[in-house]
Amino acid sequence: MKSTLIIAEAGVNHNGSIEIAKQLIDVAAESGVDYVKFQTFKAEKVISKNAVKAEYQIVNTENESESQLDMVKKYELDKDTHIELINYCNTKSVKFLSSPFDLESIDLLADLGINLFKIPSGEITNLPYLKKIASLKKEVIISTGMCNLSDIETALEILTSNGASRELITVLHCNTEYPTPFEDVNLLAMNTIKEAFKVNVGYSDHTLGIEVPIAACALGACVIEKHFTLDKNMEGPDHVASLEPKELKAMVTGIRNIDLALGNGIKEPSNSERKNIAIARKSIVAAIDIKEGDVISEENITIKRPGNGISPLLWESLLGKTAGRNFAADELLEVSFLK
């Protein structure tokens, strides 16, 4: 049975508050996801003082004058906070994950025992960063927003030539517009990536709603990542394009149902439907009373339910045979009494 790994992306939706972060962990655990993911960074090592905010960040924060650096710095989580959140995740039986955005943050997560490293889309062209991740020889998930196949090929080559195992890499199709317009999702590109690079694939979603990640699961995604929040109306750049708790739970339920529904690919009657074969299919029955010695013809037989008699596929083989006993109208014919 397929089991999709689901990552609930808390990101920076904690707004710098450890209490909100814990509430997000509570929601993630209750929804049944596998991981709750945060972001690990030192703002000054990631963003220059001259970097402007993305258009969606300006809209969502309603603050055009604030720099990207000033906006992001508010969401830093220090080492002690990481330890506290990891421990809290353990008490809630949900796994902790975080995307590092700089080299020091990679070291921090490695020192804390993190064995799965999620590379965000913006770092896919960061050579020193990719080499450092690869050198850890850990499991890697890499998002590919804003990428073409050449970008992905280059990143995979860097990772695999510096210690990462291709078998432990999952490539996520992604679009980095928040929220992503449905016409820009291009979900079929996920399988293009799979065919091109023979890697595990998944999908990191930034659309509004839950139907696209569920569809990605149906198309074969082995990892789904989705932003969530306590309330879409909270202040911050990512809340608007995130799922609220009830939506996150509905998405998880949908994905788990699809996991079950995909099955093993073998076309055969399922255990639940076997009992309906005799009820829904048909058999050859007497159309009228047939007397012993009568010749079987298209005039005295017909096809009706139930389906536990002679199959209609044998219709032509019965024509011309002789009844060895009387058959009442609607009675199932029996091969042993046809000569």
Residue ranges of domains in the chain: 5-262, 274-337
Looking at residue 53, what is its pLDDT?
Answer: 66
Tally Cβ neighbours within 10 Å of residue 29. 18
Cβ–Cβ < 8 Å for 155, 130: yes
Looking at residue 339, what is its pLDDT?
Answer: 87
Looking at residue 59, what is its pLDDT?
Answer: 64
Separation CA 51–CA 154 (nearest Å): 26
Looking at residue 70, what is its pLDDT?
Answer: 80
- Counting residues of the chain whose pLDDT is more than 70, the rounded percentage is 98
> pTM of the entire structure?
0.90
Cis peptide leading into residue 306 (ω within 30°)? yes
Separation CA 21–CA 12 (nearest Å): 9
Say which residues have a Cβ less than 8 Å from residue 170's Cβ, sequence separation at least 6: 139, 140, 141, 142, 199, 200, 201, 202, 222, 223
Looking at residue 7, what is its pLDDT?
Answer: 98
Q: Which fold has domain 5-262?
A: TIM Barrel (3.20.20)
Which residue numbers in the chain have pLDDT < 50? none
Looking at residue 71, what is its pLDDT?
Answer: 82
| CATH architecture designation of domain 274-337 | Alpha-Beta Complex (3.90)
Cross-strand pairs, 304: 283
Looking at residue 58, what is its pLDDT?
Answer: 66
Cross-strand pairs, 323: 338
